[in-house]
Structure 1
Amino acid sequence: MAVQDRKRNYALNTCIQHYQETGKSLKLASYKGMLPQLKKEYPWLKEDCYSSVLQCVAINLDRAYKNFFEGRAKFPNFKSKHHKQSIQYPQSVTVNGECLKVPKIGEIKAIFHREITGKIKTVTISKTSSNKYFASILCETELSGVKESGDQVIGIDLGLKEFAIVHDGDSATKYANPKHLNRHHKNLARKQKKLSRKTQGSSAREKFRKIIAKVHEKIANSRQDFLHKLSRKLVNESQVIVVENLNVKGMVKNRKLSKAISDVGWGKFVNFIDYKLKQKNGELVEIDRFFPSSKTCSSCGYILDELSLDIREWDCPNCHAHHDRDENAALNIRNEGIRILTEGGGNPVFADGGCVRPDNRKVKGHRSVNSLILHRPD
């Protein structure tokens, strides 16, 4: 992993210097052209690293620059040899029984969480801050058809007190916020206090750093487990899901709510819903973040001038309907999503809540990701 990081840092530094001197960026061919000369200067590159791995470094760095210039990511950073590390193998990795065979390394005993099916395309091995090793295997498979599941259109209002309020047009269901970070707050604070007392660079400090990394890992795993299970449940029950396009980056600037917003994982939840819907040919609809979902009466369409956050229930001045703030918002989000689909050339049956499941068809070239845990010798 360190070899790949050094190659990336060398290429990134060369690109920065070239831009300062000429005002132009290096092309992908330039990155790849560095390899023959580097292997002559540093013979250990041939011995310690598989050739295609170094090619991946050039491809990934070129992609990072494109993402930066197109506004999808920040400027590429130099890789550190500490904390999380990863290495990517684009070919020649095979599964042999309970082992993963990797070029230059050999067979590694692994725990597979599911059967590896299809053609292995790419394998990414990563090391976490708690010194655990994982391998993510990208496989290309053929699907015989789309799984049978629900055909509802649902609207989701995301919040902090209640993680999600889901409305299917007839009734609303509330899912509580697990508050993963809050449950480990005291334990984490106690361990971090002990860490601060350790001498910089000492083995005792490194030991406590790993202990704290394991706590953060446990929090992240429990959050991801909750988001995966809830997103899977909602996707299985529906065909179209409507959510608000929230400005999470802007919301976390609120110093009073930043920790709670970061912990809840709205962005990751929407991403999980999106890719799971695509697997079954469903559709995710994101409505404008400025749509007044909470202030609009779902019965008559009347819009309030103001509605403070402390008001959880209100009565419509026009039709006198009584509303729960969150349930009303979820229903309005659903109705707005239906309107967007209908006016945008979608099938009008959406408005009637009819069946929106597409016909089953064979999907070729489907890519699935399998992950496994690698045994690390003590």
Structure 2
Amino acid sequence: MKTLKFKFYQHKRNRYLKLTINAAGVIYNHCIALHKRYYRIWGKHLNCADLQKHISKLRKRNKFWQLVGSQAVQDICQRIEKAYQMFFKHNKKGVRPPNFKKVKKYKSFTLKQAGYKFFSGNRIKIGSKVYQFWDSQPIEGKVKTITVKRTPLGEMFLLVVVDNSNHAEIKSETKNGYEIEKRIKLSVGRTDLGCQQISESVLPCSSSVSTGKIAGFDFGIKTFLTCSEGFSIQSPQFFKQALNDVKKASRSLSKKRKGSNNWEKARKHLARQHEKVVNRRRDWFWKLAHQLTDLFDVLCFETLNLKGMQRLWGRKIGDLAFGEFIEILKWVSLKKGKLIVFIDQWYPSSKTCFHCGHVLKKLELNIREWRCPSCSSVNGRDENASLNIKRVGASTLELDGIRQVFAATVV
């Protein structure tokens, strides 16, 4: 599966798409209200099929709701059902049930098998209207779904999910209690305890050159990534760079009367500042992901507790956006046929001496370098962690001459 993103031409006809999104938001809120009322009266969860039947009856009587296609209504009901199932399954972990949303902030609607038709000349028919979009890339493969999305700036985008038949299927197997996705075969020649060189790589779905190398990476607050091969990568911290502009735009918005034309201009200006930060950060992530996957065939990372880190460091973690980078790196590695290994979250990578294996009982965050009481070696906190992450990742793959240290997950 692959998602292609296109921007709609600016046209007065786009107001029908915006009206459809607003109608989808009204239907979404009505479904949430029905769920809450049903539980309050009967003490049970409302079935998704029953909800769809009820909404389809109401839709016949409400002309505004008819702007939303039946496929989009079905998708709304299914997404609400999925959100409730996640709440029932993970409510002890802090997952909350779906709640009401402001209609003006509702973002999109999705069509699956019907309700749209593509024409030549980068045009698409949605409902009874034909819209034109920027033909920035070819649509190759069978179209599975389309999503019309509205940004805070009011711009309209078309997201097309296609089934890329050229992509090789990835088979998963469970081994030693953890899951491995079989994508490449590795054999390794051991040189020393912490340095492995992959001598052969078979990359059936890779479009890049195989390097035969493996590396470990440690995420950090002061340093974005520390590599086991002796280099580190600093994050530009784009939000920190744009913080003054964001504050200025926010102050300007707070002085305007809500709902006025000047307030709307100030709101769009603030949204534009945030969008610049997001675009710059994502561009840097994509370039970094391609650079790392060009250098190494196997990349080993630690599993992060992002929610806990967000509570501790707040805006700093949001600016670094580790989770977004990991998702982009997964996609790039899948495209190039590379492997990403995630070691266990509780493995003490910083407290374990890479040279002798001694584990410290406690290591404060402000200590950036420490001496091992067992072998007297001096270990840099991040450098030592990256070397341990590399060793654990190599042992998980059972490379030649490397004993398994700790289970990890390969994606």
- TM-score (structure 1 length as normaliser): 0.83
- Cα distance in 2, alignment partners of residues 239 and 70 from structure 1: 36
List structure 1 segments (4+ residues) > 6 angstroms apart after TM superposition: none
Does residue 215 of structure 2 align to residue 195 of structure 1?
Answer: no
The residue type equivalent to 1:61 in the other structure is: I
Kindly state the Cα deviation for residue 121 of structure 1 after the two structures are TM-superposed.
Answer: 0.8
The residue type equivalent to 2:235 in the other structure is: N
Does residue 326 of structure 2 align to residue 274 of structure 1?
Answer: no
Secondary structure, aligned partner of 1:157: strand
- Is the Cα–Cα contact under 8 Å of residues 209 and 294 in structure 2 kept in the other structure? yes
Kindly state the Cα deviation for residue 333 of structure 1 after the two structures are TM-superposed.
Answer: 1.1
Write out per-residue CA displacement over residues 280-316 of structure 1, whole angstroms, 9 at most, x where no aligned residue.
5544332233322122221111223443333333333
Residue identity (%): 28
Deviates further, 16-25 or 196-205 = 196-205
Identify the residue that residue 119 of structure 1 maps to in structure 2: 142
- Is the Cα–Cα contact under 8 Å of residues 215 and 298 in structure 2 kept in the other structure? yes
Identify the residue that residue 374 of structure 2 maps to in structure 1: 318
The residue type equivalent to 2:226 in the other structure is: I
1:139-288 to structure 2, matched below 5 A, reads 139-143=162-166, 145-147=204-206, 148-150=208-210, 151-167=212-228, 171-254=229-312, 257-280=313-336, 282-288=338-344
Kindly state the Cα deviation for residue 350 of structure 1 after the two structures are TM-superposed.
Answer: 8.3
Identify the residue that residue 90 of structure 1 maps to in structure 2: 112
Deviates further, 300-309 or 185-194 = 300-309
Kindly state the Cα deviation for residue 44 of structure 1 after the two structures are TM-superposed.
Answer: 3.8
Identify the residue that residue 328 of structure 1 maps to in structure 2: 384
Secondary structure, aligned partner of 1:162: coil
Identify the residue that residue 35 of structure 1 maps to in structure 2: 55
Given candidates 128, 131, 136, the residue that maps to 2:154 is: 131
Write out per-residue CA displacement over residues 9-43 of structure 1, whole angstroms, 9 at most, x where no aligned residue.
11221111111111111112112211342133213
Distance 1:43 1:350, change over 3 A: farther
Write out per-residue CA displacement over residues 37-69 of structure 1, whole angstroms, 9 at most, x where no aligned residue.
2133213433x2322222222222222222222
Does residue 160 of structure 2 align to residue 99 of structure 1?
Answer: no
- Cα distance in 1, alignment partners of residues 322 and 126 from structure 2: 39
The residue type equivalent to 2:34 in the other structure is: T
Kindly state the Cα deviation for residue 221 of structure 1 after the two structures are TM-superposed.
Answer: 1.2
- Is the Cα–Cα contact under 8 Å of residues 239 and 282 in structure 1 kept in the other structure? yes
Does residue 400 of structure 2 align to residue 349 of structure 1?
Answer: yes
- Is the Cα–Cα contact under 8 Å of residues 27 and 65 in structure 2 kept in the other structure? no
Write out per-residue CA displacement over residues 327-356 of structure 1, whole angstroms, 9 at most, x where no aligned residue.
1111111112223343xxxxx33849xxxx
- Cα distance in 2, alignment partners of residues 295 and 128 from structure 1: 45
Structure 1: runs of 5+ lacking an equivalent: 343-347, 353-378
Write out per-residue CA displacement over residues 63-96 of structure 1, whole angstroms, 9 at most, x where no aligned residue.
2222222228531122322235111111343443
- Cα distance in 2, alignment partners of residues 350 and 9 from structure 1: 59
- Is the Cα–Cα contact under 8 Å of residues 108 and 149 in structure 2 kept in the other structure? yes
- Cα distance in 2, alignment partners of residues 226 and 134 from structure 1: 22
Q: CA RMSD in A?
A: 2.3
Deviates further, 228-237 or 294-303 = 228-237
Given candidates 98, 103, 110, the residue that maps to 1:81 is: 103
Does residue 74 of structure 2 align to residue 55 of structure 1?
Answer: yes
- Is the Cα–Cα contact under 8 Å of residues 22 and 106 in structure 2 kept in the other structure? no
Distance 1:273 1:70, change over 3 A: farther
The residue type equivalent to 2:160 in the other structure is: I
Kindly state the Cα deviation for residue 98 of structure 1 after the two structures are TM-superposed.
Answer: 4.2
Distance 1:351 1:105, change over 3 A: farther
Kindly state the Cα deviation for residue 226 of structure 1 after the two structures are TM-superposed.
Answer: 1.6
Identify the residue that residue 108 of structure 1 maps to in structure 2: 131
Of structures 1 and 2, the one with the larger relative CO (CA 8 A, separation 6+) is 1
- TM-score (structure 2 length as normaliser): 0.77
Does residue 117 of structure 2 align to residue 69 of structure 1?
Answer: no
Secondary structure, aligned partner of 2:394: helix
Distance 1:211 1:23, change over 3 A: same
Kindly state the Cα deviation for residue 214 of structure 1 after the two structures are TM-superposed.
Answer: 0.6
Kindly state the Cα deviation for residue 261 of structure 1 after the two structures are TM-superposed.
Answer: 0.9
Secondary structure, aligned partner of 1:143: coil
Identify the residue that residue 355 of structure 1 maps to in structure 2: none
Secondary structure, aligned partner of 1:172: coil
Kindly state the Cα deviation for residue 158 of structure 1 after the two structures are TM-superposed.
Answer: 0.5
